[in-house]
Amino acid sequence: MALDEALREKGGIWIGAHPETGPEEEALTDLGGDAYRRLGFRLSEADRENYYLGFANSVLWPLSHHRTDLVDTNRAFTEAYARVNRRLAQQMAEVIAPDDLIWVHDYHFFPLAQELRKLGVTNRIGFFLHIPFPNITDLAVLPDPPAFAGWLAHYDLVGLQTRADVARCLEMFRATPQAEHLRGGTIKFGAHEVAIRSFPIGISVEAFTQAAQGGAPALMQDGCGDAYVIGVDRLDYSKGLPNRFRAYERYLERFGPDPRISLVQIAPPSREGVKAYREITHELEHIAGQVNGRFGEVHWAPIRFLHRPVPRDEVAGLLRGARACLVTALADGMNLVAKEYVAAQAPEDPGVLILSRFAGAAEDMTEALLVNPHDCDEVAEAIHRALTMPLSERRARYRACMDVVEATDVGDWARRFLDRLAACPPTLSVAGKP
């Protein structure tokens, strides 16, 4: 969404994964597209296993979300990650024009600038990390920890979600002997300079607000009680879903079950090729079954758990109708659902956002009800507080959160990043080692 808007505005080429795996191809495949070119990069089935599900999602994802216990140190993953990035750089080098700005997204491509530089690419290259910047101690589980700083050092601009992420990144560079810390957040690494800045991502506010005004979908019109609290997340262990269900159970224990209120949790499957993702699905089904068995009535289930994708407009309508939204991530780069919930609210009678302190969104959305997601009692109390909050306080909190949502609109976010990237000094060294 974010990039689609920027590409329509400025033109350019989008390069992403080809929707199907297949034999490796020599060149990027044309995927069609009306407003700008879209090129697909083909992964083989083995790349999908070892690079995508492997190094990206079984090493980099858990280590960035403080789950080093889930890191799978498989040599084949490491090798595939290096190889796929090298091959992508070779294919990109064929289509890059001299003045193009190159904007790389996310942890799947940390080494891409280094590979492009080795091929003599001197274009300005920016990188945006959508997930938390890892703790320096967690980086030690990588097969070659010092290489990580080197990967980042070949970009001109590294964009991170929050000021806390920038602080962690700078801490890593401070501990890296080749890195010299210049003024502000700029690092000199050999002859090359890389700027580290925060660019908190947001949503397309107007589009989402409009979608939400369509109202609650058919899904909610039949016997769900009068009110509901909502959660919308990809089913991922970082989103803190088991602790959310346990906190809801604690809420029922402490404040009493009320058949007019339910928790609606929408969590479509994600990365089911990774064991930890399959396990969490079973855990959630188990907890929901337990809580519903303990507190439910014949015509009422306290937790309604939908383990399937729901169309975006329906999600927007559901968010608008919810009296409160639970975002209880244990670690999260930003969390767009927090911003979507606020944007979906009716200003005259808004619901309340309950937001984990560990989501990037909490850095600026300080007027949400901030909670420690590990503390079931604190979350249970926040649910009770949200559902009994006077209208004047709900409006004041909504206004303050909405100011943040508007200030981080995704269109402005992309413009700010690209303007900053265009202003970076030109790269002169392309030797592969800045």
Q: Which residues make beta-bridge pairs with 327?
A: 355
Residue selected from 232, 301, 325, 404 as contacting ligand ADQ according to rule CB under 6 A: 232
C-beta closer to ligand ADQ: residue 116 or 232 = 232
Does 269 bind ligand ADQ (CB under 6 A)? Our answer is: no
Q: Phi and psi for 195 in degrees, rounded to 5?
A: -95, 135
Q: Which residue in 310, 387, 400, 430 binds ligand ADQ (CB under 6 A)?
A: 310
Least CB distance from residue 232 to ligand ADQ, whole Å?
A: 5
Q: What is the DSSP letter of 328?
A: -
**Active-site residue flag, 130:** yes
Contact region with ligand ADQ (CB under 6 A), list: 150-158, 304-312, 373-381, 415-423: 304-312
Q: Which of 48, 234, 384, 395 binds ligand ADQ (CB under 6 A)?
A: 234
Residue number with CB closer to ligand ADQ (131 or 287)? 131
266 is a contact residue toward ligand ADQ (CB under 6 A): yes
Assess contact for 166 and 199: CB atoms under 8 A: no
Instruction: Take residue 181 and report the two structure tokens written for it.
Output: 């810390």
Alpha helices in 131-258 (DSSP H): 136-139, 145-153, 163-174, 205-212, 241-255
Query: Under the criterion CB under 6 A, does residue 217 sit at the interface with ligand ADQ?
Result: no
Do the beta carbons of residue 146 and residue 124 sit within 8 Å?
Answer: no
Q: How many CB atoms lie within 10 A of CB 260?
A: 10
Helix (H, G, I), strand (E, B) or coil at 210: helix
Shortest Cβ distance from residue 127 to ligand ADQ (Å)?
13
By the rule CB under 6 A, 158 interacts with ligand ADQ:
no
Structure tokens at 388: 């009994």
Residues 248, 251, 256: CA angle, nearest 5 degrees? 125
Options 45-53, 151-159, 226-234, 256-264: segment touching ligand ADQ (CB under 6 A): 226-234
Report how far apart, in Å, the C-alpha atoms of 213 and of each of 192, 321, 348 are.
49, 10, 13
> Which residue in the set 145, 190, 225, 309 belongs to the binding site for ligand ADQ (CB under 6 A)?
309
Residues between 121 and 150 with contacts to ligand ADQ, criterion CB under 6 A: 130-131
From 119-127, 150-158, 232-240, 345-353, span contacting ligand ADQ (CB under 6 A): 232-240
Token pair 């280590």 in the structure block, residue:
63
Instruction: Decide: is 337 part of the binding site for ligand ADQ (CB under 6 A).
Output: yes
How many residues would you count in the chain? 434
**Smallest separation, CB 195 to ligand ADQ (Å):** 19
Q: Choose the binding region for ligand ADQ from 76-84, 278-286, 335-343, 374-382 (rule: CB under 6 A).
A: 335-343
Please state the closest distance from residue 414 (CB atom) to ligand ADQ, in A.
Answer: 12
146 in Cβ contact with 106 (< 8 Å): no
**Spatial separation of the C-alpha atoms in residues 130 and 259, rounded to whole Å:** 39
CB of 215 closer than 8 Å to CB of 315: no
Among 333, 350, 411, 434, binds ligand ADQ (CB under 6 A): 333
Can 384 be counted among the known catalytic residues? Answer: no
Q: Are 390 and 151 in contact (CB under 8 A)?
A: no
Query: Cα 65 from chain centroid?
Result: 11
Minimum Å gap between C-beta 333 and ligand ADQ is: 3
Q: Give, as ranges, the residues between 340 and 399 that touch ligand ADQ (CB under 6 A).
A: 340
* Residue showing tokens 């938390």: 132
Q: Nearest distance from residue 115's CB to ligand ADQ, in Å?
A: 23
On whether the CB atoms of residues 341 and 365 are closer than 8 A, the answer is: no
Query: Between residues 189 and 413, which has the closer beta carbon with respect to ligand ADQ?
Result: 413
Q: Are 112 and 89 in contact (CB under 8 A)?
A: yes
Q: Contact with ligand ADQ (CB under 6 A): which of 149, 166, 229, 315? A: 315
Query: Is 230 near ligand ADQ (CB under 6 A)?
Result: no
Residue 47, helix vs strand vs coil: helix
Q: Is 334 in the site for ligand ADQ (CB under 6 A)?
A: yes
Give the integer Cα–Cα distance in Å for 368 and 387: 14
> Binding pattern to ligand ADQ, positions 184-203, x when CB under 6 A?
-----------------x--
Cα dihedral 46→50→56→57 (10° resolution): 100
Q: Find the catalytic residue in 130, 181, 374, 384.
A: 130
Q: Does 325 bind ligand ADQ (CB under 6 A)?
A: no
Binding of residue 268 to ligand ADQ (CB under 6 A):
yes
Residues 6+ apart with CB under 8 A from 214: 313, 316, 317
Q: Among residues 165, 236, 332, 364, which one is catalytic?
A: 332
Interface positions with ligand ADQ (CB under 6 A): 130-131, 201, 232-234, 266, 268, 309-310, 312, 315, 332-337, 340
Active site residues per annotation: 130, 332
